[in-house]
Each structure stands twice: as C-alpha cells, then as structure tokens.
Structure 1
Amino acid sequence: MNTNRLSPRLEKALSDQMNTEDLQSRTYFSYGIWAADKGYNGISNFLFRHAQEERDHAVKFMQYVLNRGGKPTITALPAPNDEPQSLTECFDLVFKHEVENTTAIYKLVDIALEEKDWASWNFLQWFVKEQIEEETFAMDLIDKLKIAGGDRASDESLFTLDRTLESAPDDAELAQNATGANP
C-alpha cells in the first residue's frame, strides 16, 4: 500500500529545499573558514554555529518528508560561491542568501496552499517564522559592522565586533527537538 501523503510535486519541492538548506550550511561554513583565515575567530565561530543551524533545517525537511511517507532525494551540491573580499561583502552575502531562502520557503507555502496540503502548510509556517529571524539576524550583522565603521573600521572596533559575535547566544533549536507545541 502506498503510504506517501505528499504529492510528487511537493515531495520534490521539499527535497529541493532540503538540499538548499544543506548548501546554505556549506556556504556559511565556507564564510566561517574565510573569517578564521582573516583572524576573525569570533565571527568565524558565529558563522560555524549558523552553518550547523542551516544543517538542522535540512534535517528537519528530511524528517518531514520521511514522516509523510515520502523519500527525500539528495542531490549533488555545487561548491559555495567565491569567498567574500571583506566583512561588508560577507555580511551582505549572508543577507542575500537569507532573502533568497525566504523566497524559496514562500514558494513551498504557495504549493502547499494550492494543493490544500494543510499538514505541509502548517509545517512550513515554522520556516516562515524562522526566516523572519534569519533576515533580522543578517540585517543586525550589517548594522553592527556599519556602527563599527564598515570596511574602514578601526582594529579596535573590529576586535570588539569579533568578540561580541563570539559570545553571542546560540539560540538555534535542534530540528529533532521540535514538536507541534514547540516548533
């Protein structure tokens, strides 16, 4: 008996998003490596933690597709784009990636709504809320760097920014700990 509760279209779209989240993780990982190479160990650590959060999102998509009787498909991932040339470019790229991810999540919500797949629509609401937080996080990075002086910031300002991000709280919830009552 076929127990798959997802349409082929939605199953593929959710699998694609799982792979996108995995690519996002690798992208943040590469930015973290770039920051570490430049001596920004706090910023690097912050980006590495964010890479783990993106991987947790990929796992959340995988688990959902499996729980609905589908089979997620893992695809080959391209290498992350070229590394940033400055902290401003790095943080701008983080924001760009989050906006692109928000657009992808909205497309999934549209598909679920169109297909009247209320379970998937409900599942995706967690990601809608998460993307508000992700975009805010990215805008905060840009704002903090601007306050520090942007690409012309003093070494002291950059040191303070680096230390601040190193000790920033890690609010990322593990995907496997999410429940209906605590998404």
Structure 2
Amino acid sequence: MKTLVIVTHPSIETSAINKRWVEELKKYPEKYTVHELHKVYPDGNIDVEKEQQLIESHSNLVLQFPVYWFNCPPLLKKWLDDVFAYGWAYGSNGGDKLRNRKTALAVSAGIKKDDYSEEGRYRYTLKHLLSPFETTFLYCNADYRSYFAFYGTENEPGENDPSASELNDSSANELEKSAQDYLNFVDNL
C-alpha cells in the first residue's frame, strides 16, 4: 500500500522547501498520495469521514508542514483534532485505526539547526518541540518513526521559508539533496 502525505502549508506556491518536496513526491503517484489540506479545505471545514477513509486506505502516514511558532499551522491542528476522533483513533470503542500504522513527520524549520539545541538561541531541540506529535501518535498506538527536517538559514525570527528565487546555489543544492533524502526517509519508514 501507498504512503499518505498530509501537506499543510498555507502558501505552498511561495514555499521553496515544502513545494519542492511535494513536486518530488508527485513524481511517484504509485508510491505516495499527496493530500494538500489548504487546497482541499480552503474554508477549513474538514470532511472527517473522508479523511479517515483516506488514512485507512494507506499503510503509512506522514504529516508535512513548516514549523509555525514552534508548532504546526492551525489547519493541521484542526485536522488532528477533528480526524483523530475518539472511537476511531483511540478509545475503548473501536478506536484502533492508527494502531501499528507507520507514522512520521516532515518539517521545514526556517531557523538554523544550531538554534534548535539546549545551548542554542531557543534552548530546545526540534525533537523536543515536536514531542506533542510523537505523543499523539503513541497515544493512538501508531508506530511513530521520527521526523525528517530541513533547517533554514534565517538570521532573524519571523522570516518565512525562502522562495525559490531567494535561494543561492549552495542552498539550492541542499534543497535538491533534501528532496531525495526525504523520499528515502519515507521509503524506509
């Protein structure tokens, strides 16, 4: 079965990282289903049953998003709250649809990797900041397989993912390598 990649980026067209990852995933429709929440639900009204059926029809689940305020974009949080419902994702009444399903995260972190350390600017690792997602998957008895990250080169807080036109040659090479590394990560869940 295929891997379902839930992509949540409110402006994917202007993203360099997430957009490139999506382009690479879409080259292999036999292996990956790319499901872009902002395109499917521009009004934020999520069809819970449809989303649950989509997850059930795939063997693996990856959540792909840019780190926003050290968390996920609001639409992904709403999606998690709505879709991972009692009786479906967890609970004593048949809540086992994520049990043993391989799950992972793919995140773009605009901040430099060194800033995501106990000694860094923000005093927390990316692993620490993503722990609520890991805990959610563990709570639902999913088989959490960690995360894939692309760290940015921001010098100041508040900058977005660089657009493709803003990437220098070195960054563009890193981005291309990350797209291949990302597919390798997903293939080896």
For Structure 1 versus Structure 2, the TM-score category normalised by the shorter chain is under 0.3
Greater RCO (CA < 8 Å, at least 6 residues apart): 1
**Whose helix fraction is larger, Structure 1's or Structure 2's?**
1
TM-score norm. by structure 1 comes to 0.25
More strand by share: 2
TM-score, with length taken from structure 2: 0.25
